[in-house]
Amino acid sequence: MKVDGRHYRSIWRDQERDRVRIIDQRWLPHEFRIAELDSLDAFATAIRDMWVRGAPLIGATAAYGIAVHMTSDARDASLEEAGKVLFETRPTAVNLRWAIDRCARILEPLPERERAGAAMRLADEIADEDIEINRRIGVHGLEIIRQIARTRPDGEPVRVLTHCNAGWIATVDWGTATSPMYQAHDAGIPVHVWVDETRPRNQGALTSWELGSHGISHSYIVDNAGGHLMQRGLVDLVVTGTDRTTADGDVCNKIGTYLKALAAHDNGVPFYVALPSPTIDWTVRDGVQEIPIEERDGSEATHVMGLSADGSLGQVQVSPKGAESANPAFDVTPGRLVSGLITERGVCEASRTGLARLFPEFDAPSRAAVRDG
C-alpha cells in the first residue's frame, strides 16, 4: 500500500544493497521510520519487541531472519539455533512456527554452500505468497460487503467494525481484515469503519493511520463503545484478523476480540474473521484449552505512547505508581460465535467441516503438519 504516495511493503529486501528493511512500527502512527535488520539478534528483537507485529508479517520476518543468518553461518547447528531463537520470541502466532518449519524443511537437505541463496529466495517467496493470499482474501470479503451494500439506502456506507490492526502493516501488504475494506473502497462501494483503539498498545491507531492514508472514512473509538454501537444499529458487519485459528474454527486474536464477538452475537451482527491459511493450526482443536496465551510486560497497560502538547513523542504512565498489571495479549473466540472465516480460497463455516471443505489436503491427523512447500 502507499505512504505519502509511495508504495511500501512492511518488510522488503533492498535489492541494491542486499539488505532487509522493515517499517519500524513502534513509532507509528506519529512517525514513519524504516529500520534495517542485519543479524539474527536484530530479527529476534524486532519480533519480540514488536517493531513488526501481526501473524503473517511475523512469519515473513522469521524467514528473512533465517536467510540473513545463513549468509554468515550455514551449518546444521546454526540453522537449528536460528529456528530456536526466533520461535521463542512470540509463542501465540502460529505463522512463526509455520515459517520456521518451512525453512528448515527446505534448507536441511541442501549442501551448506547453497543454503544462503536458497534461504533468501524462500523468504522472498513467502513474502510474495502472503501478498497474493491477502489480495484474494479481499476479493472474497468484498462480496460480503457488496451484498450488505445492496441492503443499504442509496449512498449510505456499509458500517464495519474492526479490532486491533489486521491491516497491511500486520502482513506484507493488503492486510487480512482490511483487504476487503480497501477493495470495496477502490470498487466505489462506500464504507465507514469503526476502529477500536485496541488497548494495550493502541494498535487501532495503526488501522486509523492506514485507512486515512488510503482515504477510507472511519472513526476511532474506545474499545468499550462497540457494543453500544451494535445496540443502536450502527454496525452492519464486524471483521477482525486472527493470530491462530484451530482446526475446529476457534479464533485466537488480540485481547478484546471475544467481547466483540459476544456483543455481535447478542445483536445479530455478522462477525467474520479474515485469515490466511498459514494461520490455521491443524494440530489444535480446542483453542481455549490448547493455545498458549502470551503474557506481555505490564508496562504496556500502565503506560501509553503519544504526542505531548509541544509535539514531542514520549511515554506517559496512566496507572497509579506501583500498581500491578496483568497483560494477557490474546483471547479465544469459539467458532460458534463466528459467522464465517474469510480465506484465500473462499468463505467457510468456522468449523472442522467448513475448513476441510476449503483445505481438504490438511484434514487428516497423518497430514496435520504437512504444508505446501
Q: Max Cα separation, the chain?
A: 63
Strand 2-3 relative to strand 6-7, pairing: antiparallel
State yes or no: is 124 an active-site residue. no
**Vertex 322, ends 318 and 327: CA angle to 5°?**
65
- Please state at what angle helix 76-87 crosses helix 40-48, rounded to 10 degrees: 20
- Please state at what angle helix 179-186 crosses helix 204-214, rounded to 10 degrees: 20
> Is residue 45 within 8 Å of residue 51, measured between CB atoms?
yes
Phi, psi at residue 16, to the nearest 5°? -70, -45
Gap between the Cα atoms of 336 and 264, Å rounded: 12
* Residue 314 DSSP one-character state: E
**Residues 6+ positions from 265 with CB-CB distance below 8 Å:** 271, 337
Gap between the Cα atoms of 221 and 225, Å rounded: 7
Strand 19-23 relative to strand 11-14, pairing: antiparallel
Q: Look at residues 22, 59, 32, 6 and name the one whose alpha carbon lies nearest to residue 206.
A: 32
Gap between the Cα atoms of 171 and 47, Å rounded: 13
Cell numbers found for residue 141? 470479503
Helix (H) or strand (E) holding 8: none
* Residue 172 DSSP one-character state: S
* Residue 295 DSSP one-character state: B
Cell numbers 506481555 correspond to what residue?
296
- Count of all residues that appear for the chain in the document: 373
Gap between the Cα atoms of 288 and 251, Å rounded: 9
Q: Which of 24, 130, 173, 243 is catalytic?
A: 243
Q: Looking at the annotation, which residues are catalytic?
A: 243
